[in-house]
Structure 1
Amino acid sequence: MGVKERMDISRTFRNSMYESPALRPFQYQQSLTPVELSYFSDNKDSYTLQRGAGDQGFRFNTESYQKDAFPNITLWGKAKYENKKIQDLKFIENSDFEVVFPYFTADSVGGDLNSERYQFSGGIAKEIGKWVIGGEAGYKANLSHRKVDPRPENNSSTLQLGFGASYQILPQYIISANLGYQFYKHRNKLTFLRQLGKPPVFYMNGLGAYNSLLSGLSSESDVILYEMNGFDGKISFLPKGDSGFLFEAGLSQQTGSRTLSSSRSSANDWTDQVIAGKIGYLHKSNDWKYGGNASLDLQTRKGVEGLFHNDGSSIGLIKISEVSSYRYYHFNYHLEAIVGQADWTVKPYANFTQFKEQYINPFREQLADMLHIGVEGQYLWDLKSGLFGISLNLQKQKLLKSRSQFNGIKQGTGIADMLQQNYNYLTAEPFSIGARARYDFVASKQIKPFVQAEGLSATEIKQKYYSLTIGLMF
């Protein structure tokens, strides 16, 4: 039962809504600890240059969920290590692109980047009558570098805290409120050993715009420090069991800054806000399971860049003004449904995405409206020797509307080509096929080894992905 409730895609449909600290006691019916080691490889011909052409490496991951580890106490924890090579990055020498964009250090040469990631987290939830009080803490670190020119050194860390309370408002329903805090810090430095043939270093401000005073030729870049922190909150109305209505609403608000060691003032500041919501219904009986949900995620990022003056004094660069110059909008609307029986599940889904990115002066813009339609199916065989499962996921991406305008680009920098390649990837219309096969053995009553193979192929962007995983559950 413990293995099946983690493999079944209909359970994933439900369990992802029970990840807040005060909801963890209702997430799974049985305790389980998976330990796994994976090798993965991903390659694309068309891609966003700042994300790379793909990656390959290995990953170690373990998660433990202990229901009633002590009377009325649920414990959980996670440890993860990942070592990989990100292939063919260009116009970025930072790690954590999703966090720091659009304010990254860039050059036109780039190359592969070696990355190590560490993650540790854990939490506890205590049931007190109809109440549940829970808390969790987590830490993530990312170290990345390159041993040939250009030579970036990136060190980043993230501290996360979460607290929550839930109450059984009706016999079969619970209501919960959860609050989280996150603090992120990142140090970036870029050096060159060769003095001849060095590319210019750009301090990007969005859509290829960069700070002309700070950017240029040098033997090494300034030390760049990033900080970001903020809060997130969520309220939920969910069933205690496997059937019932589901509702969730959340808000995340983060503020960040980029600072150069040559100035006492921040070079850039930004705010990032995400509004999220979900509503749905699930039903499970002895014979059938079915349900559906609708969700939205509305992300808005707004950035400010500083204007500096260099008077040659020892105090370095002086900020004389600042301008609100960057806007980023990513709105995602998702519909999905499930239907199936104990051994099979079908999940059709549709996703509508609106994307817009703007830089004010000179005016630059790219936008796209995309529709993703797909269906995922899974079949599980209960065998005497274990559990075997296969799944297939088919998806088509369709471009509904797009527009781009890139004004005032200096020739000879490679920035125009970079923007066009990124836009081509953004507006591509691939058809993808993904498949997964997994076999869980029954070695003993307590220990269940497993092996899993996964692959994906996509047209137009010519993506090829595969992974192999071995592990055990106990």
Structure 2
Amino acid sequence: MSAIRPIAFLLGTLAANFYSPTGQAQTFPRAGEVLRDSLGARVWQVGYRMTPTGYATLERSRETQLSMRYAYWDSEGLNAPFEGEGGERFRIEASGYGVQQDKGIYCAAASFSTGTLRRSTWNDVCDVWMLYPYTVADATGGDYLDEEYFLSGGYARYFGRHVLGLRVEYTGRIAFRGADPRPKNTVSDLSFNPGWSLRLGRGHTLGLFAKYRYYKQHVGISVEEPGRSYTFYRMRGVGLFDRMFSKGDTSFGRYYFSDEATAGVLWEKSGRNAFEAVLYFRYRSVRTEESDNRIPFLTRRPEIGLHAGYRRTMGASALTATLQGTYGRQQGWERTYQRVTADEQTQVQVWRFLSQTLRDEITSAHARLRVEYLQGLSPQLSLWYAACGEYRYDREQFTSPVYHMQVSFLRLGAETGLRREGTKGNRLELRMAAWHKTGTGSSIACAEAENEIGVREMLLPLYEYLTRDYTLAEAGAAYTFVRRGFELKIHGEGGYAFGDGGSRRWGIRVGISVFL
């Protein structure tokens, strides 16, 4: 997966619009988010994602949603090898929250999703951008299937002006291929998210939050055809792999363990001139453990992030601006061992640790600005317009030998839509958007392609895709039936992109939701 991590965020910009069934860019909004007006003006706050006490500042004090959604996408030339050439995903979810002023806040969510990633190569792990550069891959590939289960629950209690809360989330996932070589991934992801906030008066709220995340993935690869073996490449970055241990075999086993800690501060103000500011620091470490009891690879990644939002309400109209930014730097360390003994009966090997060397460094920066104006023409009709700009920079450098890959781009877009409400409260929502991505600078220096299969078959096609300009158009519609005690919403969206060299990508998403 030689260039996955430095490019992970870049992939998200395209995948998010085309409903990719796996990876960082999820098919739908993250589980647990209740977004009733998903095709109209967006929920601009992010505080409720960071801390369970953040729900208190949302405009609605209560939401409950039951939904089913389906997405399908197909690509030709606008995809990375490990991303696949198409896919589909289905998800069913129940989520909600409630705020009782001066008493308590609750939030909960549960979801099940399943999907297929078609013709994916150079990828035998889940969450490749999190585990990069030390992934495992084979050159054969195939269709990847997965199932994911998500549970979340949180509660916060008022103590005068203070609010204390805790949210717990768990994600379980199984992914596999049905043809040789047959990787099977089992993922457990558990997090604890405590938060505290203080109401300062005049609509101001100050908060602190933290989050601890424990992540574990087991990768087991088997070959069922008798007498057949495959090479499982232990990737090291920029297309390189561990030549000593990447040999033909009939099975492979590896564990990934990750500890992640986040701490941040939140400042919010409600009212006619509302704003929100979130600043956080995150640190993540990932260690790789082989089936022979070695721990050959270790990554450490500190990251700082900022979100700022402002919303001015003017009667039935509103102006909203949001700014997001992140900066992170990851270091990858390789460990060398000497084999001391090996038990012939149990096959247990004992290794002596010799040294640890810094091999791979990744620098990532991202900034996004969005300005939206909601124009209320009447109590029943409103229009909205939005402009968005996004910049990304990613650079990976391998220390010895000195190789690198650098990609940066600018993405500009515009959106418009309307919302019309009927006499019985039924609502029609329409949305259109157009985006254009253009590169702002890229370079690559890597091993000779004829000597490195990972460079020839994965890295160079990935680099070509990431440096390709493209134009994207999207459209969506939703209709909500309002009845006493509940709302039923039917919605659908679609997008089409075309790029250099005849490349293209398209996707659709449909769903039905019930709000109580």
State TM-score, norm by structure 2.
0.86
Q: CA RMSD in A?
A: 2.0
Q: Does 1:259 align with 2:293?
A: no
Distance 1:289 1:194 in 2: 63
Distance 1:202 1:312 in 2: 25
Q: Does 1:432 align with 2:462?
A: no
Secondary structure of the residue that 1:149 maps to in structure 2? Answer: coil
Which residues of 2 match residues 11-410 of structure 1 at below 5 A? 11-13=42-44, 15-19=45-49, 20-46=51-77, 47-68=79-100, 72-195=103-226, 198-221=229-252, 223-241=253-271, 243-263=273-293, 265-310=294-339, 313-314=342-343, 315-342=349-376, 343-385=382-424, 386-408=426-448
- Report if aligned partners of 1:363, 1:407 keep a CA contact under 8 Å in 2: no
- Report if aligned partners of 2:40, 2:429 keep a CA contact under 8 Å in 1: no
- Report if aligned partners of 2:68, 2:93 keep a CA contact under 8 Å in 1: yes
TM-superposed deviation, 1:75 = 1.1
Distance 1:67 1:429 in 2: 45
TM-superposed deviation, 1:252 = 0.8
Secondary structure of the residue that 2:47 maps to in structure 1? Answer: helix
Q: Which amino acid aligns with 2:418?
A: Y
Distance 1:60 1:36 in 2: 6
Distance 2:250 2:36 in 1: 56
Secondary structure of the residue that 1:10 maps to in structure 2? Answer: coil
Distance 1:153 1:50 in 2: 16
Distance 2:363 2:83 in 1: 19
Secondary structure of the residue that 1:212 maps to in structure 2? Answer: coil
Query: Which 10-residue stretch deviates more, 189-198 or 293-302?
Result: 189-198
- Report if aligned partners of 1:5, 1:28 keep a CA contact under 8 Å in 2: no
- Report if aligned partners of 1:225, 1:260 keep a CA contact under 8 Å in 2: yes
Q: Please list every run of 5 or more consecutive structure 1 residues that lacks an aligned counterpart in the other structure.
A: none
Q: Does 1:417 align with 2:449?
A: no
TM-superposed deviation, 1:414 = 5.2
TM-superposed deviation, 1:306 = 1.6
- Report if aligned partners of 1:397, 1:429 keep a CA contact under 8 Å in 2: yes
TM-superposed deviation, 1:316 = 4.3
TM-superposed deviation, 1:239 = 1.0
Q: Which amino acid aligns with 2:311?
A: L
Q: Which amino acid aligns with 1:306?
A: R
Q: Which amino acid aligns with 1:140?
A: T
Higher RCO (CA-CA < 8 Å; seq separation 6+): 2
Distance 1:41 1:5 in 2: 22
Distance 1:142 1:82 in 2: 9
TM-superposed deviation, 1:234 = 1.5
TM-superposed deviation, 1:420 = 0.8
Distance 1:37 1:467, change over 3 A: same
- Report if aligned partners of 1:26, 1:241 keep a CA contact under 8 Å in 2: no
Distance 1:32 1:294, change over 3 A: closer
Distance 2:461 2:227 in 1: 28
Secondary structure of the residue that 2:196 maps to in structure 1? Answer: strand
TM-superposed deviation, 1:311 = 5.8
TM-superposed deviation, 1:409 = 5.1
Question: Hey, what does 2:488 align to over in structure 1?
Answer: 449
Q: Which amino acid aligns with 2:95?
A: E
Secondary structure of the residue that 1:421 maps to in structure 2? Answer: helix
Superposed CA offset, 1:192-219 (max 9, x none): 1224564311111112211122111011
Q: How many residues align?
A: 467
Distance 1:197 1:421, change over 3 A: farther
TM-superposed deviation, 1:289 = 0.5
Question: Hey, what does 1:471 align to over in structure 2?
Answer: 513
Distance 1:228 1:298, change over 3 A: same
Secondary structure of the residue that 2:56 maps to in structure 1? Answer: helix
Query: Which 10-residue stretch deviates more, 453-462 or 280-289?
Result: 280-289
Distance 2:470 2:97 in 1: 38
Distance 1:183 1:79 in 2: 19
Distance 1:274 1:6 in 2: 31
Superposed CA offset, 1:275-329 (max 9, x none): 1113342101213201323221112221111223346633345432221111112
Superposed CA offset, 1:227-248 (max 9, x none): 0012101211111346333322
Distance 1:11 1:17 in 2: 14
Question: Hey, what does 2:26 align to over in structure 1?
Answer: none
- Report if aligned partners of 1:24, 1:125 keep a CA contact under 8 Å in 2: no
Q: Which amino acid aligns with 2:299?
A: W
- Report if aligned partners of 2:478, 2:491 keep a CA contact under 8 Å in 1: yes
- Report if aligned partners of 2:102, 2:160 keep a CA contact under 8 Å in 1: no
Distance 1:48 1:473 in 2: 37
Question: Hey, what does 2:12 align to over in structure 1?
Answer: none
Q: Which amino acid aligns with 2:364?
A: H
TM-superposed deviation, 1:408 = 4.9
- Report if aligned partners of 2:52, 2:166 keep a CA contact under 8 Å in 1: yes
TM-superposed deviation, 1:412 = 6.9
TM-superposed deviation, 1:341 = 2.1
Distance 1:355 1:275, change over 3 A: same
- Report if aligned partners of 1:270, 1:303 keep a CA contact under 8 Å in 2: yes
TM-superposed deviation, 1:8 = 6.3
TM-superposed deviation, 1:94 = 0.9
Distance 1:447 1:288, change over 3 A: closer
Distance 2:122 2:401 in 1: 20
Superposed CA offset, 1:110-138 (max 9, x none): 11111001111011122232222121000
Distance 1:470 1:106 in 2: 37
